[in-house]
């Protein structure tokens, strides 16, 4: 698998004359995606607004649910659990997963009026993702492009690419969280697989890792 980090000017994404809430942001980081569906995004966000006195609900009118988890008064950075329902200005950002296969992974950041996102997938999926980015936002730049390598001593290195991809995607999207954040069907759809194929890859990966651990 490969991981690519790209950076896109915010103005390219939402337009320089847009009234999007994204212009209110000093900095934003999606620390963890808990659930991502069509038009919906739940996760842990770290946010600092340009106007620290502005209520977060005013800057983000499409928030369906919000809970303040932590506040750093010195830096004005607040950490929230947010259920977000996006509209046209941010739809393309969060719909990139699944268009090319692979998925946009955390951290996802907005800072200095630039959007930085990470994408994880096979070489073919990364190439397709970059072609889509280029069509949408030609002023993008690649910050890094690396193999998602693992230590030879890691049980992960014993898996086939398909098994590794299934297991890591399930882990990143919250399949192993309690309560479970995503279903096998949802993960299979993101990986462009039928559910039974994904389950087969995942179970083989789990068995191989358990075997490595038990026999070590």
Q: Containing domain of residue 29, as a range?
A: 7-117
Give the C-alpha separation, 152 to 186, whole Å. 31
Is 73 a domain residue?
A: yes
What tens digit of pLDDT does each residue of 44-90 get? 999 999 988 888 887 777 888 999 999 998 889 999 999 987 655 45
What does the pLDDT read at residue 54?
A: 87
What does the pLDDT read at residue 99?
A: 52
Find the CATH number of the domain harbouring 161.
1.10.10
- Same domain, yes or no, for 80 and 31? yes
Please, what is the Cα angle at 132 between 127 and 134, to 5 degrees?
Answer: 95
- Residue ranges in the chain whose pLDDT is less than 50: 89
What does the pLDDT read at residue 184?
A: 92
Is 136 a domain residue?
A: no
Domain count, the chain: 2
What does the pLDDT read at residue 173?
A: 76
What does the pLDDT read at residue 144?
A: 83
What does the pLDDT read at residue 69?
A: 94
Give the C-alpha separation, 166 to 148, whole Å. 14
Is 130 a domain residue?
A: no
Is 23 a domain residue?
A: yes
């Amino acid at each position: 698998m490969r991981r690519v980090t790209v950076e896109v000017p915010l103005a390219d994404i939402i337009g320089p004359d847009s009234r999007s809430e994204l212009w209110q942001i000093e900095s934003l980081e999606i620390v963890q995606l808990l659930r991502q569906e069509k038009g919906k995004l739940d996760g842990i966000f770290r946010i600092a607004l340009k106007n620290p006195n502005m209520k977060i609900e005013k800057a983000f009118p499409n928030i369906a649910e919000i809970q303040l988890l932590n506040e750093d008064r010195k830096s004005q950075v607040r950490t929230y659990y947010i259920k977000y329902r996006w509209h046209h200005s941010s739809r393309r950002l969060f719909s990139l997963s699944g268009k090319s296969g692979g998925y946009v992974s955390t951290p996802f950041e907005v800072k200095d009026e630039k959007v930085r996102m990470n994408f994880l997938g096979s070489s073919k999926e990364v190439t397709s993702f970059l072609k889509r980015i280029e069509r949408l936002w030609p002023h993008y730049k690649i910050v890094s492009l690396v193999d998602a390598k693992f230590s030879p001593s890691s049980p992960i290195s014993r898996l086939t690419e398909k098994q590794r991809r299934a297991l890591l995607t399930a882990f990143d999207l919250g399949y192993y969280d309690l309560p479970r954040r995503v279903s096998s069907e949802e993960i299979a759809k993101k990986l462009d697989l039928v559910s039974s194929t994904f389950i087969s890859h995942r179970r083989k990966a789990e068995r191989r890792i358990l075997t490595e651990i038990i026999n070590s």
